[in-house]
């Protein structure tokens, strides 16, 4: 594994821990807050479900939050490669 992929896997571990913590909560708690935080910016769309989140925690919304975390992981995993390819394609400045 390359060093530039490490942040993506750290993020994935943090997301898994927050989802596990979230499933055990009955109401809004640290797991719910962390689950919403790690799935930003996608979880901003959850504002319309705030009543459900406030009274049942995010465990009822994990069906949405898990794919959001997967999307974040995908982007964090692929962006270093995309940036590297872009740097290789761009012509070097004239000296």
| Per-residue pLDDT reduced to its tens digit, 59-92 | 677 888 888 899 999 998 888 888 788 878 777 6
pLDDT tens by residue, 27-66:
777 887 888 888 888 878 777 777 777 776 666 778 888 8
DSSP string of 33-68, one letter each residue: HHHHHHTTTGGGGGGGGHHHHHHH-GGGGHHHHHHH
pTM here is 0.69
Per-domain residue ranges for the chain? 26-76
Nearest to 76 by CA among 14, 18, 5, 17: 5
């Amino acid at each position: 594994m390359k060093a530039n992929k490490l942040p993506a896997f750290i993020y994935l571990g943090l997301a898994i821990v927050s989802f596990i913590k979230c499933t055990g909560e009955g109401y809004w708690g640290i797991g719910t807050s962390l689950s919403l935080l790690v799935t930003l910016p996608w979880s901003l769309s959850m504002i319309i479900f705030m009543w459900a989140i406030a009274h049942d925690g995010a465990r009822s919304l994990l069906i949405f939050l898990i794919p959001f975390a997967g999307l974040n992981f995908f982007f964090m995993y692929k962006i270093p490669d995309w940036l590297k390819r872009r740097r290789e394609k761009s012509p070097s400045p004239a000296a």
